[in-house]
Structure 1
């Protein structure tokens, strides 16, 4: 009986520790894409985008990531290429991304590369309040840091690289 009580106590303690951990999620929009061919639905980064991807790596040089998530597009993956990340996982929809983060990466440090029409939705999906009403097609310089604990997130918004918004 004592062993059962000890086991039950340890299980509850472990469950409390896990649920109380803070997950850090960085979210960026992919860097500038090459618009030279309007027919290309999966373009690479432009030269300016490659510079911004390098700026992202400089901005986050002290952050140790456990995992990265990117949509299955060249530009999101190329935006993350300069970062030291052990694993990049493709995601196709926001719900499965959020579920995966909340289930499999509690207490970890994560970066997500998204698109102008998904970044703010991801923030809301993780329990944060949108820090901007919308991201436009020209908004490449924002970065969002979320501290996620259970179903709530504290959101911090900054800019990196060459600013679009002076």
Structure 2
């Protein structure tokens, strides 16, 4: 009787692992919204009015995605970018250290199967986050004016894919966007 129970338990556990292996982790990565630039010495500025508007645009963009977790760096501008969505769906924002992006990516790939995650970073960390999930950079660089990109990474098993789009007020011409999309493909 005990052998039969152990065998059934083993079959159930293996079946659950197979189901989890087929589920993807979906990660949305954005740069923080526009910040106040009045004081160039300010190390932790708030969002500008345009940045606050973009944060609401991000919430609207992701409202149907059923985001399970939100990660930001420990800066006002990243937290305020994520706040409208976190408030709307009723979840707490978790912070991560930008120097530990690879560890965060590994943790999410391993433990967040079937989940949807938002990560808010900075112009000099977003592309590194994308690479930490095992994909190539979909754009060459992010400039100080690039606030409207949203990157969608899907990791299923050992395969990772990334796509990008834009949200909120555009910082780019339509022709430039078409060139970029062609070069990413």
Contact 2:33 2:55 (C-alpha < 8 Å) held by counterparts: yes
The TM-score with structure 1 as length reference comes to: 0.94
1:126 counterpart residue number: 133
Contact 1:66 1:87 (C-alpha < 8 Å) held by counterparts: no
Secondary structure at the residue paired with 2:29? Answer: strand
2:80 counterpart residue number: 78
2:147 counterpart residue number: 140
Contact 1:126 1:152 (C-alpha < 8 Å) held by counterparts: no
| In 2: Cα distance, 1:63 partner to 1:162 partner | 20
The structure with the larger Rg is 2
Q: Map Cα deviations across residues 41-77 of structure 1 (whole Å, 9 max, x no partner).
A: 1111111111111111222222211110000000000
Q: Hey, which bits of structure 1, 4+ residues long, moved more than 3 A?
A: none
2:26 counterpart residue number: 24
Contact 1:126 1:151 (C-alpha < 8 Å) held by counterparts: no
Query: Residue 2 in 1 paired to residue 4 in 2?
Result: yes
Unaligned runs of 5+ in 2: 174-185
Contact 2:105 2:132 (C-alpha < 8 Å) held by counterparts: yes
Q: Map Cα deviations across residues 103-132 of structure 1 (whole Å, 9 max, x no partner).
A: 332111111101111111111111222110
| In 2: Cα distance, 1:62 partner to 1:5 partner | 41
Q: Map Cα deviations across residues 135-161 of structure 1 (whole Å, 9 max, x no partner).
A: 111110100111111232221101111
- Aligned equivalent of 2:110, options 103, 106, 115: 103
RMSD over equivalenced CA pairs, Å: 1.3
The TM-score with structure 2 as length reference comes to: 0.85
2:92 counterpart residue number: 87
Unaligned runs of 5+ in 1: none
Which one has a larger percent helix, Structure 1 or Structure 2?
2
Contact 2:102 2:133 (C-alpha < 8 Å) held by counterparts: no
1:165 counterpart residue number: 172
- Aligned equivalent of 2:42, options 36, 40, 43: 40
